[in-house]
Every structure is written in C-alpha cells, then in structure tokens.
Structure 1
Amino acid sequence: MNALLLAVPALRMAPPVMQMTGAPVGSAPVTGYQGSVVPTGRGPAVTDTAILVQGGSLRTWSYRSPAVEQVQVVLSTEGRPLDADIELWHGPDNTPVKMRVYVENGQLRPFSAVIETPRGPNTVAIRNIGQIEFPIAANVVADNVDNPSADCLSSSTTIQGGALRTYPFDPSVDSVQVLLRTDGRPLNARIELLQGPNNNKQVIELYTEDGRDRPFFCLLETPGSGNVVRVVNTAPVEFPMTCSVVPHSINPEMSTGAVLGGDVVIGGDVGW
C-alpha cells in the first residue's frame, strides 16, 4: 500500500490569482489614470497658503534657519470678530514676544504685523481664543515682508511709561503704519484703533522683551472717517518707548468734507 502511494505523482494546484473587487475575471487592467486624480474639468486648483484656525485651537509655524530674521503674520476672518493670541517661541520656555489681538471685523480690517526673529530657530504660535463659531484664516510668511517707510522711521516721538498719544487721521487715509521701539528695554504697549467715542475697532496688547532687538511694526486698516489711533505705554515710568504712526496708503477719491447726516465739522464755514 505504501509502495502504491509513493508511485503516484503528487498533484499540485494552480497558484492563487488576486482579483480586484468588482472587476470581471480575465478583464484587461484599467489604464490611463493610475497613480493620479481624474480631472473633473473645473480648471487648476488655486493654492492658498492661509491655514484655517478653528476656535480654541493652536497652529504653529517653525523656522529653523537663522537666515529668517523676520516674518509677517496676517490674520483675517469672513466678517466675524477676530480674537487671537500670538507668541514667538525662541528655545525652551522662552517667549520673547507676546501679543493679544482683537478685531471687530476681520474682513474689513485684517490684522498684519511683522515679528522680528533673529538667531533662529524660532516658532510662531497662533491660538484662536474665540469660540468655535469664529474661525480665523492665518498666514505667516518670511519673504516679501512689509517694512516701515523712511517717513515712519524719521518721525518718531517718545511716550513715557504710563502715558498715551493719539493720532487722528483724515478719511482719505486707508491704512497707517505703526512702529514701536525702545533703547533695549522691555516694551509693553496697547494699540487701539478707535472710530467714534470709545468704539474700539481693533486692539493690540503687546509685550517684547527687547524693543531694540525686536521692534514692533504693524499695518492698521482705517476705512471710513473718524479714525483715531491711540498708543498707550503700559510699562512703568522707567521704560519709555518711541512711537511712529504715519499714513501708509491714501485714497484721493475719498471726500474730506462734511457729509449730511455724517460727521460734524466744528468751526467750519457755512455756505448760504
């Protein structure tokens, strides 16, 4: 019996063949769109570097190269309020720059500021401290950064600790430049954009550990009339700072006169 079994050659089955689900057996493989997305005919996709930061979440941008000496932070919304914390992390447990930003309308007045980042690596952290219904579009770039103009660098005034300065602007001014510096001491300031009595359209609470090594520069959008920029030095009297607030862009088509039902010009001539 054993001899008979050894004499019979072993039967081998055919190797298994892997088949795709839903494809008929023996059909030719599908070619033409392997490894890519089938176009839908909607045209090329538009690339946007802005990142959506939901309410209560945190996003970071890291720059390891020491060649990146400054970055520009741009925050905006779809017309809803904007409330965010921005920090610069330089090493473990070292935060040389902090700011709290509030904007009433992030679409009409987007926030734009330049943060100095010497001696990398550096990380910019943006936290949306608003509710979940108020997302923020955040963008941090290291190239094509806005710089203060020559007029902004030359027209600076000193603000002592605890003092404040106000800068009213004409309705034709669409945006202004704000530059704050110190002689190497810490910088603590509050920047407010007012449009009407105690009507804050934008508020920035700022801290910088070295106002000469890390000065603060930002652009404030000032649409409409009655815009006033108020800068408060919230540091003690031993920490003065220099401030410069000048127009950035001007709309010559904007009327500067009084409008019926609008602003009232005190002491203006009355035409009969």
Structure 2
Amino acid sequence: MALALSALPLSLSLGAPMAGPASRAAVSMQAYGAVAPTAGVAAGVAAGGPMAGPGVDSSILVQGGSLRTWSYRSPSVEQVQVVLSTEGRPLDADIELWQGPDNTPCKMRVYVENGQLRPFSAVVETPRGPNTIAIRNIGQVEFPLAANVVADNVDAPSAECLDTRMTIQGGALRTYPFDPTVDSVQVLLKTDGRPLNARIELLQGPNNNKQVIELYTEDGLDRPFFCILETPGSGNVVRVVNTAPVEFPMTASVVPNSINEQMGYEAVLGGDVVLGGDAGW
C-alpha cells in the first residue's frame, strides 16, 4: 500500500498516463496547430510573398561590393520591375539579366547622385523563362542600397509615350527639357530587332549629371527598355545618346509621367537654381 501511494505522485507528475483523449487532442493542437502557421507567416514575410501584409517592405539591403539575385523559373513572368533606392547617399549599381549559362541578354550600369530623392525604377523584359535578375552594388561599403524586384503591377508606358517615338541614329543624341511642374518622366527605347546600346542622362544645370544609365540589350524589339526618371526641381533635361555605330538606329520616346500643378516657376531663395532667372531681390 505504501508502494502504491508513493507511485501515485510520480504518475501525476509525469502526466502522460493520466491524459485523456481530449487532453491529448489539446496538446496536439498546441504543438502543431499554432507553430506551423507562425512559421509560414514568417517565411512569407521574409520572402516578400503573398503572406506578407500590405505594409511590409519587401526590399532587400545590398551592401557595397555585394551581389543579390532574383530567379523566376516560370515562363509566364514576361517582365519584372527593378527599383533601387538609398537613404540619400549616391547609388552605383550593375543590373544584369541572366538567361541560361553565360548568356546576358540585357545589362545596365546605373548611377544616381541621391537615391532617396531620385530612386531608380526600370522594367526589364524577361520572355521565355527561366530568368535571373542580378543586382551588384559596385559602390563602397559605406553606400548600401535597397533593392526590390517585383513581377506584379509592373509600370507600362502610356499611350502618349508609345505614339511620340523619334529615331536616333547611331552616334547621335537628343535632349528633352522639361518644366519645373514635371515631377517624373517616362523613357522608352526600342529598335527594329537590332542590338540596343544607349546612355540616358538626367541633367540639372550645365553638365551636372543627377542620374546616368548605360544600357545594352541584345534585341531592342524583343527586349525594349522602359524606365521612369524622377525630375524634382527645375532645369531638368533628359539626354539620350545612341552609343552604337551608325548601322544601329533606335527609337526614343521621352514624355512627362506626373505633373505637379502646384509647383511654381519663381525662384526660391535657398532652393534650386533657375537657369536664366533672377533671385527676386
């Protein structure tokens, strides 16, 4: 009898023999039903997938000198949008499209003076997957950048942008000045199937490059280039240069994307310089 009484607390402390079916079901739900969804949400947020909430930023920080890749195995992904920004520091990056081993059908070099004021946003055509987007931060370690590559809700050129194309012969250039009311512009470059080599510059003042894009595409008809340039302030001029030989012409379209009607034309003391204007003393 003493042995049975001494064994009773041991059974109660272990708890396993005394648990009924309801208790075992509760334990199972606590062990498996609560942990799995939490892990799934964490994985979705980390991957920036559909389980991430609308307020979650899916950008990835790319340190200076490092490389990040985004792979899309589905052939249904025909274009992706690349967005690069910083916290106000300069942005210097290489963007490449990899399709198969040792095949780079599109690549570009991007420089932005202020990645917070003028974030880089471009659409990369990715027909016939699988494709991989590679972004390399070629700046110093003190200049990290935030990169985001998405395949949903990709920007598309407007009807005005598609209808106002102009031919730029090889080695030639064209300039497009814009009013201070224009906050951003659309740039669309295409060819008739030949390779596309171009340089896009955003200037604000004489030879003052705020943003430079050096572009190569092996087929300008199958993989046209489209981007949106932020143009805050006044005195903005977009310069498009066809760096290819004379045998490789291209068509370019540069039109306003967004207009701020509240932006005034008058010079502001302590603000941007207005070319040809006075300070209004």
Q: TM-score, normalised by structure 1?
A: 0.81
- Relative to structure 1, the CA distance from residue 264 to residue 116 in structure 2 (aligned partners, 3 Å threshold; closer, same or farther) is closer
CA RMSD, aligned part only? 2.4
Q: In structure 2, the residue corresponding to 1:153 is in which secondary structure?
A: helix
1:164-188 CA-partner distances (Å, limit 9, x unpaired) = 0000000000000000000000000
Structure 1 counterpart SS, 2:185:
strand
CA distance in 1, matches of 2:254, 2:59: 28
Quote the residue 1:222 is aligned against: 231
Cα deviation, 1:18-48, whole Å, max 9, x if unaligned, reads: xxxxxxxx699xx9x97768xxxxxx99522
Q: Partner letter of residue 76 of structure 1?
A: S
Amino acid at match of 1:61: W
In structure 1, list runs of 5 or more residues that go unmatched: 1-25, 38-43
- Alignment partners' CA distance in 2, 1:45 and 1:70: 22
Q: Which has the larger radius of gyration?
A: 1
Q: Which residue of 115, 120, 126 corresponds with 1:117?
A: 126
Map 1:1-272; keep pairs closer than 5 Å: 47-258=56-267, 262-265=273-276
- Give 1:156 shift: 0.6
Q: Deviations over 1:204-256 (max 9, x none)?
A: 00000000000000000000000000000000000000000000000000012
CA spacing shift, 1:122–1:259, aligned 2, 3 Å: same
In structure 2, how many angstroms separate the alpha carbons of the residues matched to 1:217 and 1:118?
15
Give a deviation string over 1:59-103, Cα, whole Å, max 9, x none: 000001010000000000001100000000011110000100000
Read off the aligned partner of 1:66 and give its amino acid letter.
Answer: P
Contact 1:52 1:136 in 2 (8 A): yes
Offset of 1:264 from its aligned partner?
A: 4.5
Distance 1:181 1:231 in 2: 12
Identity of counterpart residues, as a percentage? 81
Identify if the C-alpha distance between structure 1 residues 50 and 172 changes in structure 2 by more than 3 Å, giving closer, same or farther: same
Distance 2:268 2:101 in 1: 56
**Equivalent AA in structure 2 for residue 167 of structure 1:** Y
Tell me, what secondary structure is at the counterpart of 1:125?
A: strand
Structure 2 Cα separation of the partners of residues 228 and 246 of structure 1: 12
Q: What is the rounded CA distance, in whole Å, between the counterparts of 1:132 and 1:163 in structure 2? A: 37
Q: TM-score, normalised by structure 2?
A: 0.79
- Structure 2 gaps of 5+ residues are 1-12, 16-26, 39-52
1:203 is paired with a residue whose SS is strand
> CA 1:27 to 1:255, structure 2 compared with 1: closer, same or farther past 3 Å?
farther
Corresponding residue pairs, total: 237
The letter of the residue matching 1:263 is V
